[in-house]
Amino acid sequence: MSTAAPAYLDYNATAPIRPGALEALTASLVSGGNPSSVHATGRAARRRIEAARSAVAALVNGLASDVIFTSGGTEANNLAILGSKPRCVVASAVEHDAVLAPAHSSGAEVRLIRVDRDGRLDLEHLEQLLATAPREGTLVSVMLANNETGVIHPVAEVAARARARGAIIHCDAVQAAGKIAIDIGALNVDLLTLSAHKLGGPQGAGALVARVDVDPVQRGGGQERGLRAGTENVAAIVAFGAAAEAALAELSTFAQLAGLRDDLERRIAALAPDVVFHGGACARLPNTSCIGTVGLPAETQVMALDLAGVAVSAGAACSSGKLRPSHVLTAMGHAEDAARAAIRVSLGWGTTPADIDRCVEAWSALYRRTRTAKSAA
């Protein structure tokens, strides 16, 4: 096992906290205060939350008054879907489980939009699904960027077609935020989900940007305009705001990660012509590579890379411990063995060329060992 500092290439699972966010988190913990209290300490906590609300809104060019803070992206997705009380949910087949699970538990009819082998949405299939959906009570939910492949979806076009049918539009932008520019108005969506820890904030904070009314899912003291009860996680929210501000300022720098990602893929492809880069033919997030090697299980790759000091994921990190193939890759039409043989390498604000070198070297060594063993068998 390597004793050097690990090359962390799992930013889509969670990004290391940014220095500014950590500083804001610590300072807020020291300051304390309940933002619902009317004394000076409480009012100061409230001011910190409202400043963070403005920073998070700016990240998506939205209004601070539309931002509802939650415990993370999953809760925000649940609030968007269950709070809309839909009769029918039309979602892409490659949505995160945090969208698909509440959709299926909502009591609504669920219709899934097909994608092609590269992960592109089938917009004609969307039209077919909308044609027979209820004119009232239909919610369309399409993520801005896929968490496993990085494929960017044409959300504005989806929204235009959905609006023509009277639907409400939700967009899970958890993986896209801080990686590409987002304008909620240009996307033309009603509900948009964000998460702090994907862009360098702490775990335990997220937001739903709601431009339409939703019903609360969690009830209690009436915090967050009565839409998300419970004392706010002030320190995490303040750090979320700091991370959002930093991410917005560094969008152009983040875009440069595509060069490192492409270098990784070129070097692996030169060694292993049988490798597939899922979604590689589409517009993708600049930091994401989904690498498939049939005959080389994802678990084997993840463990071998970990022993070499390189951290990556097998598909979505929140489901990588489960022994099931990626539903994203199977929805893209890949066989189960291919869906079980894909790893996700995701870069971020702290990634260096040395991290890419280390990943390529470790993966290449594993590939050579397995192919040599296979030839000898």
Residue-wise pLDDT for 285-342, tens only, equals 999 999 999 889 999 999 999 999 999 998 655 544 555 789 999 999 999 999 999 9
Examine the domain organization and report whether 12 and 34 are in the same domain: no
Give residue-wise pLDDT tens across range 357-371. Answer: 999 999 999 999 987
Whether 11 and 36 map to the same domain: the answer is no
Residue 63: pLDDT over 90:
yes
Residues 146 and 25 in one domain: yes
The residues, any chain, with a CB within 8 Å of residue 155's CB and separated by 6 or more, are 142, 144, 169, 171, 187, 189
Alpha helix ranges (H) inside 32-183: 40-59, 73-84, 97-105, 123-131, 155-164
Whether residues 296 and 326 fall in one domain: yes
The verdict on 229 and 294 lying in the same domain is no
248-to-174, 179, 348 alpha-carbon distances in Å = 14, 9, 14
| Residue 223 Cα distances to 35, 46, 70, 81, 361, angstroms | 9, 11, 11, 20, 51
SS3 1: coil
Residues marked as catalytic = 318
In this structure, the answer to whether residues 229 and 173 fall within a common structural domain is: yes
Residue 1 belongs to a domain: no
Please give the tally of structural domains in the chain: 2
Whether residue 321 sits in one domain with residue 193: no
CA distance 240 to 328: 28
Tell me the CATH number at 335: 3.90.1150.10
- 292 CB-contact burial (10 Å; exposed 0-12 / middle 13-18 / buried 19+): buried
Q: Are residues 238 and 265 in the same domain?
A: no
Q: Does some domain include residue 49?
A: yes
Q: Do 258 and 244 fall into the same domain?
A: no
On whether both 186 and 272 belong to a single domain, the answer is: no
- Whether 2 has a pLDDT exceeding 60, the answer reads no
175 and 30 assigned to the same domain: yes
359 within 8 A of 353, measured Cβ to Cβ: no
Residue 222 CB neighbours (<10 A):
13
Q: Do the domain assignments include residue 2? A: no
pLDDT surpasses 70 at 376: no
Residues 210, 67, single domain; the answer is yes
- Domain hosting 271: range is 7-16+253-376
Structure tokens at 93: 């087949």
